Amino acid sequence: MNLKKAIALLLTLSFLIISFSIIGSIFLLYKKLTNNSFEYSIAEDSFIIQSIQKKFKTVNINSSEAINQLLLSNFYFKHNNFKVVILFKSAQDKININNLLYDDKVNQTMLDFIDLIFDKYRIEDREFFIDLILDTIDKDKEERNDKSEISLYEPFVNGYIYNYKQFQKIIDYYYKVTQDKNIYKIPFKDIFSFDNSYTDCNHLSFVIKNILGIQGCNDLKSLYDKKFIENLGIIPFNKERPYYIWMNVHYKRYNNQFNFKILYDITNKRIVKIEKHIIY
């Protein structure tokens, strides 16, 4: 009987220790979420975003030269106890992966371009990776290849590929099925995008230039035919179409540093999305 009571007491004490540990962890997390730095960060982010919107309502970018000038500049200002620096980068420098399938028709030029990538990085099962992308973008649940409809085997959202996080799941799934490590050698982040309406040939990423063997627009036009270029969605600046830029916002308040990114449509003068990574 005494042994049973001792065991019961020990279990009770163990439960209490675990419970207090969990409560302590929750309290520490709450404290971090509600400290002054976090609260100031929210307020300052909001102020900076409003300042950017106000500033860029008066900025007119209507030529390739104006784009170049903007990308080479930076936006700097002070407010109360913090300093803000904003750096600009074209978001039209990569090729939209969703162009691979349009109205249920496969873009053969995109396939040829992806083949150039796979040649360079020696990808083993090219057809399977392509089918994974196609079966993601299309709306049906029919498989083009064995195990190519990811949503049938694990939690996954089909349809338009909205961001790199979703695309990363395709990459990871490909490796899981094929064990082809070379897929991780491809710098996809410097090749494919998910937001832009077209690709600016004056601001192609270095990786794309390397794959195509070009330096800029003139090389592209001399080495590839017009249909190839258009089917990849690569065109010069067009003031009639939305042009996206990334605003990399960095600011410091006392000894705390913060940063976030804004995807901005300079044609229609609107914020498309905001990305912020907070580490607690």
Q: Where are the domains of the chain?
A: 36-92+243-275, 98-197
Angle at the Cα of 52 from the Cα atoms of 51 and 56, rounded to 5 degrees: 120
Tell whether the model's pLDDT for residue 82 goes beyond 80.
Answer: no
Other C-beta atoms lying within 10 Å of the C-beta of residue 161: 22
pTM: 0.77
For residue 229, give every residue at least 6 positions away whose Cβ sits within 8 Å of its Cβ, in sequence order, or none.
Answer: 201, 220, 221, 235
* Helix or strand run (H / E) with residue 82: strand 82-90
DSSP type of residue 147: T
Sign, CA dihedral 183-189-193-198, equals negative
Q: Give the pLDDT of residue 40.
A: 52
- Looking at the chain, the whole-number percentage of residues with pLDDT higher than 90 is 44
CA distance 26 to 33: 10
Binned at pLDDT 50, 70 and 90, residue 33 comes out as very low
Strand partners, 79: 82
Q: Is the pLDDT assigned to residue 51 strictly greater than 90?
A: no
* Residue pLDDT, tens place only, 242-261: 899 999 988 877 777 888 89
pLDDT (mean) for 59-88: 84
45 versus 68: the higher-pLDDT residue is 68
Q: Could you read off the pLDDT of 102-118 as tens digits, one per residue?
A: 888 999 999 999 999 99
Mean pLDDT lowest among 30-34, 244-248, 262-266 = 30-34
Q: pLDDT at residue 12 above 60?
A: no
CATH of 36-92+243-275, one of 2.60.40, 1.10.8, 3.30.1300, 1.10.15: 3.30.1300
In DSSP notation, 87-103 reads EEEES-SSEEGGGGEET
CB-count burial class (<10 Å; 0-12, 13-18, 19+) for 170: buried
d(CA 185, CA 36): 42
| 244-to-75, 85, 127, 154, 266 alpha-carbon distances in Å | 17, 19, 32, 33, 6
Residue, of 18 and 222, whose pLDDT is higher = 222
**26: confidence class by pLDDT, cuts 50, 70, 90:** very low
pLDDT computed for residue 41 by the predictor = 58
The pLDDT, as a whole number, for residue 277 is 57
Average pLDDT, the chain: 83
**Average pLDDT for residues 152-161, to the nearest whole number?**
92
Q: From CA 44, how far away is CA 136, in angstroms rounded?
A: 38
Token code pair at residue 111: 């396939």
pLDDT band at 133 (very low <50, low <70, confident <90, very high): very high
Which residue has 């220790």 as its token pair?
17
pLDDT digits (tens, 9 = 90+) for 171-222: 999 999 999 999 999 999 999 999 877 899 889 999 999 999 998 888 888 9
> Which of 12-21, 71-80, 181-190 has the least mean pLDDT?
12-21
Q: Judge contact between 185 and 91, C-beta under 8 A.
A: no
Asked which of 6-15, 48-57, 166-175 is least confident by mean pLDDT, the reply is: 6-15
